[in-house]
Structure 1
Amino acid sequence: MRHAFLAIASLVFPAACLAHAAGNMPPRYVDAIDWPTKEAGLEKFALAEHMLSLSFERFCGDAFCEGPYPNLRPMQLSCSVDTSNGTIKRCLWIFAGSDTSVDASSGAVRSSAKVYKCNLRLARNTPVDVFYEAMNDGELLGKKLPMTRHTVYDSLVGCLP
């Protein structure tokens, strides 16, 4: 049945669509850890995520961790890469925070928790290697993102409480 579909599709769809349907074309976007090949970016990406998290931890108490969730923590950074040109399409940095209290009369523990999804304000077509270089240098929250006038802090304002 699949062969019949491909034969009919070759009459209707352009060759690129047919090649994609047959599984011959690479995906347009991949996770940054899988750029340029499967898990090839794992170490560089893990280092970038670690450096961002360290910078956030140092900055947190002065900016974001005095609100409703004093234990706000970065959970995961994830970026998509456009395989056609090796640039970052989007980076999403996930944070979680919680707060608890004890009811003085019943002893019940109450909790509240929230997840925040913050987009890094990257320039369009930021090359992956340029992103990695920028993420390995110093105090990152106040540093301008490559090819922009925006900092990582700018990306978090309005996203985090």
Structure 2
Amino acid sequence: MSRSTLIAAIFGLWLAWPAQAQPAFVDARNYPAPGMGTAAFDRLEERWLEGFDVACGDALCTGVYDYQRPFKISCAVRSIDGVLKSCHWAIVGTVERTDPETGTSEYEIRSVICEIPLASDIPLQVLLETADDRDPFFDPLPGGKTSAYWGIADCVGPLVSDVKGAHRIR
């Protein structure tokens, strides 16, 4: 093998290396490049939080864990084309009781990770557009028949009715 052929082969491998090093999936906030999706995804998250607050006041947050707050929304997308793989929402529920005789407060804390029911092969951009076009929390998600609300309502059931797995803090 000649020296120029060897150099060309090494150069070709060097050029191909970044494409191979790219992860298969990235967080939606980092698509198409690190940090570039943050503003658009934050807008969608803001609208989902508004919907959660309305639903929580209506019926979603009644029961044992009457104080519930969404903690973090995360969506994974294919890095090569921006198609959604999954979205999850961490939600924390608490209930506080005060012992009337000692004045000591006791807290029970429960967290759940809720999967947002996505249709398959939906581009991230299509989901992000729902933040401005319609109600992204209560309306059916793109390509599907289920809303983010129903995905969350099915998931937080243990927060409103079950004390198993609660963490007690005194």
Range into which the TM-score falls when normalised by the shorter chain: 0.7 to 0.9
Q: Give the counterpart letter for 1:25 in structure 2.
A: A
Between the two proteins, the alignment pairs up a number of residues equal to 143
SS in 2 for 1:150: coil
Give, in angstroms, the shift of residue 58 of structure 1: 1.3
More helix by share: 2
Structure 2, unpaired ranges of 5+ = 1-15, 158-170
Higher RCO, 1 vs 2 (CA within 8 Å, ≥6 residues apart): 2
1:42 paired to 2:43: no
- The CA distance in 2 between the partners of 1:110 and 1:73, in whole Å, is 19
- The CA distance in 1 between the partners of 2:53 and 2:133, in whole Å, is 16
Aligned Cα root-mean-square deviation (Å): 1.9
SS in 2 for 1:153: helix
Aligned to 2:139: 143
Aligned to 2:88: 92
1:106 paired to 2:102: yes
SS in 1 for 2:67: coil
Give, in angstroms, the shift of residue 40 of structure 1: 0.4
After TM superposition, the score normalised by the length of structure 1 is: 0.82
Give, in angstroms, the shift of residue 120 of structure 1: 0.5
Give the percent of matched residue pairs that are identical in Structure 1 and Structure 2: 28
Aligned to 1:155: 151
Aligned to 2:113: 117
Deviations 1:87-141 (A, max 9, x none): 1100001111111111111221111011111100011111011010113344333
